[in-house]
């Protein structure tokens, strides 16, 4: 490859020297010669080393191939399952391709990234071991820790990409995908809430008996303002409507309202038919839809958690779990790679079938444990950060055990 590159540069330099009418200076020709001598060494394989580049190329290539293969099969099954509904609701092909499957692919590729990492490591490492390449490396004095280096470099690339997509890119696509499912796949979002109470300002609490997010309208509204533990203002309204066309947020219109101002033993009552007012709450604060936390970017999650916590809302556990899970999932690449490398680096009779079976079982176990631990945080009052990291903690112990018994 390097000889071919040098040959191309030499031909280009000779051609340019012969083109007198271009009036090329000696600087341009010297620049081409400098590129000929130095540019090949900027190739990644020269920057990271031949062994590192060889393994990184195998790792990333197998990882991408496994994603393409498995996600393609998943698309076929998903399309076959939803074909009748897509036909019934007359979903346009443009929406099917660009709104649904264009966002289906990155979402599930990222969701099952630990599975793809494990399969990739098991597959190509078993192949290297079967061809006696790992034995040759170890015999040549390459330690297992040195062999692990290109794997860890690959994990840094995968983990960085996974975190970036999960935190900033996929949430926007998830909004489009969920809207498509709501329109054409009969996957209805929750649009109603009952008995919602939240803190909207310092010493001010709002309550809505029933709320319909479809029409942005609530019934049985009250707003209480306290001075310490003493109630000083009590507003009630039969109906409250969010102003969707207002220039700013938090604008509401209340109907059939009554305000009671309490001062000592005295009470002053004011009533009216309609009134525009500003209340520091939004429709998204009132209704929770399944999977709603997945539509927030990581900065938006932090803002939402901070805002809802300051209001005294308890409906933030799902959002906290989602935030910590995105970080934990990125680190899972390192843990599962160490396990996969330690298991499959030995040459054994029977090929890679056993390793692939073990890898698949462990990957599925990791994903199931991740789901179960999230449920613990929501239903069993487990701290969200602990629930998100439980799979990594357990599998880190397994990785350490496998690493200690790896060939040297």
How many helices (H) and strands (E) the chain has is answered by 14, 6
CA nearest neighbour of 116 among 158, 170, 156? 158
User: If you average pLDDT over each of 138-142, 271-275, 316-320, which comes out highest?
Assistant: 271-275
pLDDT for 21 equals 44
Average pLDDT score over the chain: 84
State the pLDDT at residue 287.
Answer: 82
**C-alpha–C-alpha distance, residues 252 and 243, integer Å:** 5
16 or 195, greater pLDDT: 195
Side-chain-side CA neighbours of residue 192 (13 Å): 5
Least confident of 57-66, 321-330, 354-363: 354-363
List, for residues 212-243, the tens digit of each pLDDT value: 988 899 999 999 999 888 889 999 999 999 99
DSSP code per residue over 230-266: EEEEEEEEEEEEE-TT-SSSSEEEEEEEEEEEEETTE
270 — pLDDT class (breaks 50, 70, 90): very high
Q: Are 121 and 341 in contact (CB under 8 A)?
A: yes
* In the chain, domain spans: 2-42, 44-189+292-408, 192-287
* Average pLDDT of the segment spanning 244-248: 85
Residue 22 has pLDDT above 50, yes or no: no
Between 317-344 and 384-404, two packed helices, what is the crossing angle to 10 degrees?
Answer: 10
- Judged by average pLDDT, the poorest of 41-50, 51-60, 150-159, 386-395 is 41-50
Q: With 90 as the cut, is the pLDDT of residue 66 above it? A: yes
26 or 139, which is more confident: 139
Cα-based angle 141, 145, 147 (whole degrees, multiple of 5): 65
Lowest average pLDDT, out of 17-21, 62-66, 95-99, 101-105, goes to 17-21
Lowest pLDDT segment from 26-35, 102-111, 151-160: 26-35
Residue 167 and residue 385 in contact, taking contact as beta carbons nearer than 8 Å: no
∠296-316-321 over CA atoms, to 5°? 70
Closest by CA position to 260, among listed 314, 224, 293, 286: 224
pLDDT of 153 above 70: yes
Mean pLDDT computed over 113-121: 90
Confidence band, pLDDT 50/70/90 cuts, at residue 151 = very high
* DSSP assignment letter at 97: I
Q: Please tell me the distance from the alpha carbon of residue 109 to that of residue 114, in angstroms, as a whole number.
A: 9
Q: How far apart are CA 133 and CA 127, in angstroms?
A: 9
């Amino acid at each position: 490859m390097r000889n071919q590159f040098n040959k191309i540069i030499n031909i280009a330099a000779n051609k340019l020297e012969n083109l007198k009418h271009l009036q090329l200076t000696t600087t341009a020709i010297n620049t081409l010669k400098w590129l000929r001598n130095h540019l090949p060494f900027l190739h990644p394989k020269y920057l990271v080393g031949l062994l590192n580049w060889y393994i990184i190329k195998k790792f990333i290539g197998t990882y991408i191939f496994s994603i393409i293969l498995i996600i393609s099969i998943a698309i076929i099954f998903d399309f076959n399952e939803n074909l009748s509904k897509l036909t019934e609701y007359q979903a346009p092909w443009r929406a099917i391709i660009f709104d649904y499957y264009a966002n289906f692919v990155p979402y599930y590729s990222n969701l099952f990234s630990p599975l793809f990492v494990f399969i990739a490591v098991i597959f190509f490492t078993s192949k290297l071991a079967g061809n006696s390449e790992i034995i040759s490396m170890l015999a040549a004095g390459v330690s297992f820790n040195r062999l692990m280096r290109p794997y860890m470099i690959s994990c840094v690339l995968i983990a960085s990409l996974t975190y970036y997509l999960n935190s900033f890119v996929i949430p926007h696509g998830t909004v489009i995908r969920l809207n498509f499912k709501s329109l054409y796949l009969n996957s209805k979002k929750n649009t109603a809430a009952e008995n919602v109470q939240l803190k909207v300002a310092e010493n001010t609490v709002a309550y809505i008996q029933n709320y319909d997010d479809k029409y942005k309208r609530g019934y049985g509204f009250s707003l209480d303002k306290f001075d310490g533990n003493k109630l000083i203002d009590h507003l009630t309204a039969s109906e409250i409507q969010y102003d969707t066309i207002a220039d700013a947020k938090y604008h509401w219109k209340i109907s059939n309202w009554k305000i009671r101002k309490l001062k000592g033993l005295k009470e002053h009552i004011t009533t009216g038919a309609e009134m525009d007012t500003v209340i520091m709450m939004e429709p998204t604060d009132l209704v929770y839809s399944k999977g709603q936390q997945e539509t927030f970017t990581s900065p938006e999650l932090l803002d939402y958690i901070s805002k809802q916590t300051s209001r005294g809302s308890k409906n933030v556990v799902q959002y906290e779990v989602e935030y910590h899970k995105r970080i934990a999932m990125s680190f899972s690449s390192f843990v599962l790679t160490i396990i996969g490398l330690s298991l499959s680096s030995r040459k054994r009779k029977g090929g890679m079938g056993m390793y692939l079976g073990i890898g698949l079982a462990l990957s599925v176990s990791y994903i199931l444990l991740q789901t179960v631990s999230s449920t613990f945080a929501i239903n069993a009052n487990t701290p969200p950060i602990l629930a998100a990291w439980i799979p990594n903690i357990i599998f880190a112990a397994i990785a350490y055990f496998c690493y200690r018994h790896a060939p040297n």
